[in-house]
Structure 1
């Protein structure tokens, strides 16, 4: 992705630098050749050339671009598990993924980590974004996922003879787990996504208290992935599955729903981040009936929602790290609603707006492995910025309204927002 040449000055706004510190009123951010050259009080800003582009934040908020830490680019209008792999042909899913990526950027998300993708579409989507062929967040790709045979992601019956290999690699034992990772190495992924546990979506076979992989399979995945410098994460709801993942050496945990004190100690000992993805659970409970979700499934999501909220509070209170995002692309939880997760964590989970924004920026960049260049607004960082018309700390739901975005910037280039179509002065 090319960095924008020249200088841009963003003024007349309150700066939230992403580090969780107090906001800086009447701030100025100077961007030179795609990187932040200055971020701080206006009175301390160095002079810039008269030809510099100027963006007026209009008394609003200047902050880092958001990071969607559990992004499924190939999910689209999913109403049942089978929709994830056989609803559309791969050619159309590829076009949908590009549209979802563009939408995410327009929603202020300048970076994202894939939580799994049909085939390895996200690997190629990342290349297209980096080569400026299509707009989207800076992407960390995961490609196909790994699950035990008969587990949550193994829903196509054998008599159909269609398998699951477009979406998930099914394994029986550690040897097959190693072979699956090696396929993903060839595909070019950065993260290996696994399914250690079930979910409320499958109450009859693999509910949220069941395991879908053995510890030996999970350990084999980690050893093989780490050998190739890849990171491993997993869909972890059941308490035993969380502990298995942490003991196996996972680099992140998705959901972390039913944590206890022992699981928390394991998480904190290695400072493993967790992405709870809780708005999906709320949407499943509140909107599930209109889409025909069975009462047993909705009851499971209620249990997952309450336990997941408690686990998230427990992690952050103990000094652990949370990322924001997850599982958008379902019919009741569509792409474009990403920032509702942030509002939800303030209004329902009880975190402060500043805590949530730190999770959605700096911690997200840490999860991507790019904290040295993304996630905060400091000198030397890539100028991935979000300028919002309004006080985001006073009303975090402003981030749900794209019409309030003055500018969404990547590498100093304005990609979306009110000033996107304006010619630089």
Structure 2
């Protein structure tokens, strides 16, 4: 299987653009550090895949090709802090879990990764996928075997038996034969699960602190790990240099995870003023995924194959997520852009921006959440998130001003990652 994967992934290299070349980029407007406004009439010098300088005016060294973006609006490559790059939701999703191998999932991920990159997202954090498929894809992209965004991955989420992240809703014999998350029960077993994930290649630890919408079980959306288990997970992860992010919808699970010291909350649907205070006191980051809530609620209303247990939870949680984000942002919570793409369609990630603006963000604040804040959240700020000397030449461009209409980012016109042009401006 590994030989087959290697051969097929190597063949995919034909999809790659030419190797990174030294270049100068003439830009009309550049949002070099989102939150600080545009610089105008600038030249970006790129060498060895990184930015060397950004200077006023248009210069053109004789030995460097020129990329003309003088009529465009340039900003750092976007970062999605919550994706599932190896699968995509839909009516056949539950069946696909039985049909697809890890190799299938990796190749699905290669296709989804290409779509994500072409949509302007040059880095993502994958929080919940098969270890072999997502770690293999992460490493293949990093070595240039296939095109895609930079990936930081948790691999399998850590869950309790029968909880969100386990296999639910099938016959017992079927569930016994399937692998869900990294399942643990009790503090010591949860320490073991954390260490196992790190051993197998996890960049961070993802836990399912509460029930989830898409798990086919009527187990609610509140706390599922005990306080002792949560404390053990955080202690084990932090002692081995890994952050912990918690899928959490219900207030009880959000607050318990924050008290245990998790670094971030995914979703946060039922957080209240007390949860906001806990988040600010702990310094935790919120990854809101409003697009996923809207998508799941849409399925619940229109898809007759949607499991009844999930339908109830989707209709309960989905409509609340926009108000949750409005409450968290106005309360001063640190917010990193994240979509839960894989629930929604890959390549549509930028639809989250309009939802953020509806929740009270300015367009520039929403972009900052997907660049500056997200780069810090995924621990890559020294290399990405802004356009500054020394950082990777990860940048995108659109032909109309996204600060006037953030939906412009739903149709990105130019993509460069690491000095390679993946999508040239027509």
TM-score, normalised to structure 2, is 0.88
In structure 2, the residue matched to 1:418 is: 425
Q: Aligned partners of 1:6, 1:131: CA distance in 2, in Å?
A: 17
In structure 2, the residue matched to 1:423 is: none
Contact 1:242 1:263 in 2 (8 A): yes
Residues 381/79 of structure 1: CA separation in 2 closer, same or farther (3 Å cut): same
Q: Unaligned 5+ residue runs, structure 1?
A: 420-425
In structure 1, the residue matched to 2:46 is: 31
Q: Aligned partners of 1:284, 1:246: CA distance in 2, in Å?
A: 26
Q: Unaligned 5+ residue runs, structure 2?
A: 1-15
In structure 2, the residue matched to 1:376 is: 386
- Give deviations 1:168-190, integer Å, cap 9, x for gaps: 01211112111111211221111
Matched residue SS, 1:13: strand
Give the alignment partner of residue 66 of structure 1, picking from 78, 86, 91: 78
Q: Aligned partners of 1:189, 1:203: CA distance in 2, in Å?
A: 26
- Give deviations 1:192-226, integer Å, cap 9, x for gaps: 11111113345862222x22211111111111111
Structure 1 residues 109-118 or 287-296, which shifts more? 287-296
TM-score, normalised to structure 1, is 0.88
- Return the offset for 1:26: 2.9
Residues 342/368 of structure 1: CA separation in 2 closer, same or farther (3 Å cut): same
Give the alignment partner of residue 186 of structure 1, picking from 196, 199, 205: 199
Does 1:136 find its partner at 2:148? yes
Contact 1:104 1:336 in 2 (8 A): yes
Q: CA RMSD in A?
A: 2.6
Does 1:340 find its partner at 2:351? yes
Q: Aligned partners of 1:103, 1:164: CA distance in 2, in Å?
A: 32
Alignment map for 1:345-364 (pairs within 5 Å)? 345-346=356-357, 348-364=358-374
Matched residue SS, 2:209: coil
Residues 177/11 of structure 1: CA separation in 2 closer, same or farther (3 Å cut): same
Q: Aligned partners of 1:368, 1:63: CA distance in 2, in Å?
A: 19
Give the alignment partner of residue 408 of structure 1, picking from 412, 415, 419: 415
Does 1:110 find its partner at 2:122? yes
Residues 240/83 of structure 1: CA separation in 2 closer, same or farther (3 Å cut): farther
Does 1:386 find its partner at 2:396? yes
Contact 1:273 1:322 in 2 (8 A): yes
Residues 140/3 of structure 1: CA separation in 2 closer, same or farther (3 Å cut): farther
Q: Aligned partners of 2:215, 2:201: CA distance in 1, in Å?
A: 30
Structure 1 residues 2-11 or 309-318, which shifts more? 2-11
In structure 1, the residue matched to 2:13 is: none
Structure 1 residues 183-192 or 22-31, which shifts more? 22-31
Matched residue SS, 1:152: coil
In structure 1, the residue matched to 2:5 is: none
Residues 349/272 of structure 1: CA separation in 2 closer, same or farther (3 Å cut): same
Matched residue SS, 2:36: coil
Contact 2:103 2:133 in 1 (8 A): no
Contact 1:13 1:60 in 2 (8 A): yes
Contact 2:135 2:155 in 1 (8 A): yes
- Return the offset for 1:289: 2.9
Give the alignment partner of residue 266 of structure 2, picking from 254, 277, 280: 254
- Give deviations 1:55-99, integer Å, cap 9, x for gaps: 222522110000011010122244377357334222211210111
Does 1:15 find its partner at 2:30? yes
Contact 1:277 1:325 in 2 (8 A): yes
Matched residue SS, 1:181: helix
Give the alignment partner of residue 365 of structure 1, picking from 359, 375, 388: 375
Alignment map for 1:213-362 (pairs within 5 Å)? 213-292=225-304, 293=306, 297-298=310-311, 300-330=313-343, 333-346=344-357, 348-362=358-372
- Return the offset for 1:165: 6.3
Contact 1:3 1:411 in 2 (8 A): no
In structure 2, the residue matched to 1:199 is: 212
Does 1:100 find its partner at 2:112? yes
Structure 1 residues 378-387 or 318-327, which shifts more? 318-327
Alignment map for 1:142-181 (pairs within 5 Å)? 142-154=154-166, 155=168, 157=170, 159-163=172-176, 166-181=179-194
Q: Aligned partners of 2:252, 2:180: CA distance in 1, in Å?
A: 25
Q: Aligned partners of 2:313, 2:261: CA distance in 1, in Å?
A: 28
